[in-house]
Amino acid sequence: MTATSSRLKHEIKDLSLAPFGRQRIEWAGREMPVLRQIRDRFAQEKPLAGIRLVACCHVTTETAHLAIALKAAGADALLIASNPLSTQDDVAASLVADHEIPVFAIKGEDNETYHRHLQIALDHRPNIIIDDGSDVVATLVQHRQHQIADLIGTTEETTTGIVRLRAMFKDGVLTFPAMNVNDADTKHFFDNRYGTGQSTLDGIIRATNLLLAGKTVVVAGYGWCGKGTALRARGMGANVIVTEVDSIRAIEAVMDGFRVLPMAEAASLGDLFITVTGNKHVIRAEHFQVMKDGAIVCNSGHFDIEIDLKALSGAATEVRQVRNFTQEYRLQNGRKSVVVLGEGRLINLAAAEGHPSAVMDMSFANQALACEYLVKNQGKLEPGLHSIPAEVDREIARLKLQAMGITIDTLTPEQLEYTNSWTSGTE
């Protein structure tokens, strides 16, 4: 059901889900102490006063805390989904009902709706865009050039979005500053690795109830997301095979103790396949052909292009829904099947709740502080990608450690002097 209200524009599943969303948002907040401190400061200082802001994120309990912090900062914020299958409808309802934040997101929305919401977001005439995958920025650059004048800058959450922004810069169309949140240490070391690692297996297990111990799990891609996924799959007792196209990452996987094979060889060995490459058609027709009967394939990369589902559909004689988020494709006149989870979309957000709150705490602290940085430095930043300043990254780590009750050493004056000198060597 689509609900609209004259008081506050929104397009969500069902406003009556708000009490469930409120309760779950509150629960997530227990694990988000860093963002909470930033929100409290923002409420006092109002660093985003009068800023029109669009956030295109997975609409989860963690994103709710980001949106609430942005609103506390004085932003006129509007939220849309960054993926058609990742929205938590109860969270969307609570943001509208309890926080008066306009949300345009419905779990399972079709592509037409997804793209219509992108247009609605741009109709908000944003000064700042928080993007996750760069769909809003790409739409702006392609279809709303005249609105670039309104823009102070953008922030990008994920590796795929950063790859797209780099391509835009190369093509000369990234004519405004874009903060690279993904590459902050307090983002990708934790969110991409431990967040994706845990939430991907969580999504697979919720969708299938599969026992991982003893299974052969093929992880395609050994970037930070692949590393986390392979590590956690091994931790659950799986025999993990890694596939890679990058020679350095491949050696890293070998030395981390994984078997490394081309997909052409891994395809016939795997019980479960997880793609996390950021590239397209990593699993395709020739791979489906040699897979074992009942092999399960899923994706945890940003877009639903890593598994060539068109090729699989073309080869299938029957497709049936066997569980939530679980479809069985019958091949070779029913002689074998391949099972696809979450329609090839991010399985951690489609079938589970995305990364746990404790890692999103740091990712979204980066997002919030990146927005503040853009406003503070308005007009001073060159067009193109900008790193999160190292002192901001360190401060987020310090606050996280503090919240966890962990203290660390500090350099003695003698050590400090040593690190700043080049004269002392072999004694």
Contacting residues toward ligand ADE, per CB under 6 A: 57-58, 60, 62-63, 195, 349, 354-355, 360
> Which pair of tokens denotes residue 358?
């404790």
Three-state DSSP at 377 gives coil
Distances (CA, A) of 69 to 35, 163, 294, 350, 380: 8, 28, 45, 25, 25
Q: How far is the CB of 235 from ligand ADE (least distance, A)?
A: 19
Q: Which is nearer to ligand ADE, 223 or 354 (CB)?
A: 354
Q: How far is the CB of 349 from ligand ADE (least distance, A)?
A: 6
Q: Which is nearer to ligand ADE, 133 or 270 (CB)?
A: 133
Q: Which is nearer to ligand ADE, 139 or 158 (CB)?
A: 158
CA dist., res. 7 & res. 355, Å (int): 33
Nearest CA among 228, 391, 207 for reference residue 297: 207
Sheet holding 272-275, edge to edge: 259-260, 239-243, 216-220, 272-275, 295-299, 336-341, 326-331, 316-323
Q: What residue number has its CB nearest to ligand ADE?
A: 354
Sign (positive/negative) of CA torsion 185, 187, 193, 198? positive
Q: Which is nearer to ligand ADE, 36 or 284 (CB)?
A: 36
Q: Which is nearer to ligand ADE, 35 or 309 (CB)?
A: 35
Q: How far is the CB of 192 from ligand ADE (least distance, A)?
A: 9
Q: How far is the CB of 158 from ligand ADE (least distance, A)?
A: 7
Q: How far is the CB of 88 from ligand ADE (least distance, A)?
A: 9
In the chain, % helix, strand, coil (3-state, to 5) comes to: 50, 20, 35
**Residue 180 CB-half CA count within 13 A:** 18
CA dist., res. 79 & res. 170, Å (int): 29
Q: How far is the CB of 64 from ligand ADE (least distance, A)?
A: 9
Distances (CA, A) of 296 to 53, 212, 386: 40, 12, 39
Q: Which is nearer to ligand ADE, 198 or 243 (CB)?
A: 198
Q: Which residue has the tokens 């989860």?
A: 60
Q: How far is the CB of 83 from ligand ADE (least distance, A)?
A: 9
Q: Which is nearer to ligand ADE, 337 or 367 (CB)?
A: 367
DSSP 131: E
CA dist., res. 57 & res. 156, Å (int): 10
- Given a contact cutoff of 8 angstroms between Cβ atoms, the answer to whether 155 and 370 are in contact is yes
Q: Which is nearer to ligand ADE, 130 or 307 (CB)?
A: 130
Q: How far is the CB of 199 from ligand ADE (least distance, A)?
A: 6
Q: How far is the CB of 354 from ligand ADE (least distance, A)?
A: 3
Q: Which is nearer to ligand ADE, 339 or 371 (CB)?
A: 371
Sign (positive/negative) of CA torsion 245, 251, 257, 259? positive
Q: Are strands 295-299 and 336-341 parallel, antiparallel or unpaired?
A: parallel
Sign (positive/negative) of CA torsion 149, 152, 156, 157? negative
Q: Which is nearer to ligand ADE, 126 or 354 (CB)?
A: 354
Q: How far is the CB of 201 from ligand ADE (least distance, A)?
A: 14
